[in-house]
Amino acid sequence: MNKKKKSLTYSSSGVDTKKGSQLVEEIKPIVKKTNRLGADVELGGFGGIFDIRAIGYNDPLLVSSTDGVGTKLLLAIENNCYENIGIDLVAMCVNDLIVQGAEPLFFLDYFSTGSLSKKIARRVIKSISEGCEEANCALIGGETAEMPDFYNPNHFDLAGFSVGAVEREKLLPRNVVSGDVIIGIPSSGLHSNGYSLVRNIIKNMKLDIHDKTPYDNSKTFLEEFLSPTKIYVKQILQLLKNTEGVKGIAHITGGGLTENIPRIFKGKNITAEIDVLTWEKPKIYKWLYRSGNIKESEMLKTFNYGIGMVLIVDQKKDKEIMNFLSKYGEEPYKIGKIVENKGEGSKVDYV
């Protein structure tokens, strides 16, 4: 006699849609805090809505960005620390918008996991919401994907997507030429790049990341490694609104100063000449440099090395721009200048 086959369900296969629906309801009050003019942050529809006419642009261009937080996420997962990782996700996207002069308008996230933990997801989304609030960027939607067997137990991945707007005539970069001044705005630490190298150093040293750092007894290595990426939106937008002379901006992420600055040259035969002695390096970089026996050239093309944003400005406006940033609470550094490139292509020279 044939045994009756057990009826299979989506839930018995590892996907709990009820739990996903409960999560959406639980995060609605969190997401509501990111509301801004033009946005509809009511979750649950098929798509997020933003009314660009409501914010008063005349001839806007839309600028989009997508990013993740790399293997920094592994450190967060392994240590059950999710309070900053969503801020990192937002920062990596919105900082890429403002370098083109664009005001971030809205953000969407993708959270994928093998088995959904509502508790962890709420903590992550709360952090994303805090990043959106800081950037004045509405969290208008997202996707939570439960994919059994795809991830290791308790692991998940994140991706972010953001859209901003800029008046056509204000789009950056524009007209970068020899003689322009390079200004660096400090980073808040490692931000979200170079973590595969950081994790390799941790492994080789058998480092207990819960130990205090040798340079700051009030902070553990874990706190240092998971400090959030700095969001530059408010100060850059105010700078662009209140001053003239900014010709280009580079967000210093993976590839460091070496690879990110030339991205704004648009193939011009010019070089960024940078003096690496002009800014103070955060102590974590000095520790990594020594502990990993890393060449400075590698530091400069892997990490932000203490400079999170680079501005290319008219040489007649550099003092005005630095003064404005200083009044806004920043500590800008004049780190170099643009010169004619005697060779082919755009590049960075360190002097």
178-to-32, 185, 259, 264, 307 alpha-carbon distances in Å = 47, 21, 19, 14, 22
Prediction pTM value: 0.95
172 compared with 7, residue with greater pLDDT: 172
**Strand ranges in the chain using DSSP code E only, listed in sequence order:** 39-40, 49-50, 60-67, 103-113, 138-146, 156-167, 181-186, 212-213, 216-220, 246-251, 270-274, 307-313, 333-340, 347-350
Picking from 46-55, 73-82, 281-290, 320-329, which range would have the lowest pLDDT averaged per residue? Answer: 46-55
45 compared with 34, residue with greater pLDDT: 34
What is the pLDDT at residue 267? 78
DSSP 244-286: --EEEEEE--TTHHHHHGGGGSTT-SEEEEE-TTSSPPPHHHH
Model pLDDT for residues 93-133, shown as the tens digit of each residue: 999 999 999 999 999 999 999 999 999 999 999 999 999 99
- pLDDT, average across residues 35-58: 88
CA 323, CA 328: separation in Å to the nearest integer? 9
φ, ψ for residue 216 (rounded to 5)? -155, 105
Average model confidence (pLDDT) across the chain: 94
Q: HSE-up of 247 (CA within 13 Å, CB side)? A: 23
DSSP 69-100: -TTHHHHHHHTT--TTHHHHHHHHHHHHHHTT
CA 227, CA 63: separation in Å to the nearest integer? 27
How do strand 333-340 and strand 181-186 relate by DSSP bridges?
antiparallel
Q: How confident is the model at residue 87 (pLDDT cuts 50, 70, 90)?
A: very high
- 3 state DSSP class of 38: coil
57 compared with 45, residue with greater pLDDT: 57
Picking from 8-22, 88-102, 231-245, 317-331, which range would have the lowest pLDDT averaged per residue? Answer: 8-22
- Crossing angle (nearest 10°) for helices 17-32 and 118-135: 30
**Pick from 99, 308, 332, 331: nearest CA to 194:** 308
Q: What angle do CA 332, 87, 118 make, to 5 degrees?
A: 170
Model pLDDT for residues 226-284, shown as the tens digit of each residue: 999 999 999 999 999 999 999 999 999 999 999 999 999 987 889 999 999 999 999 99
What is the pLDDT at residue 271? 95
- 3 state DSSP class of 204: helix
- Residue type, position 184, single letter: G
- Residues 27/122, Cβ–Cβ less than 8 Å: yes
What is the pLDDT at residue 2? 59
- 3 state DSSP class of 36: coil
Please say if the pLDDT value at position 320 is more than 90. yes
- pLDDT, average across residues 57-65: 97
Model pLDDT for residues 164-196, shown as the tens digit of each residue: 999 999 999 999 999 999 999 999 999 999 999
Q: How confident is the model at residue 3 (pLDDT cuts 50, 70, 90)?
A: low
CA dihedral 307, 308, 312, 314 (to 10 degrees): -80
CA 92, CA 77: separation in Å to the nearest integer? 19
CA 181, CA 316: separation in Å to the nearest integer? 9
Domains, the chain, ranges and CATH? 17-170 (3.30.1330.10), 181-350 (3.90.650.10)
Maximal C-alpha separation, the chain? 92
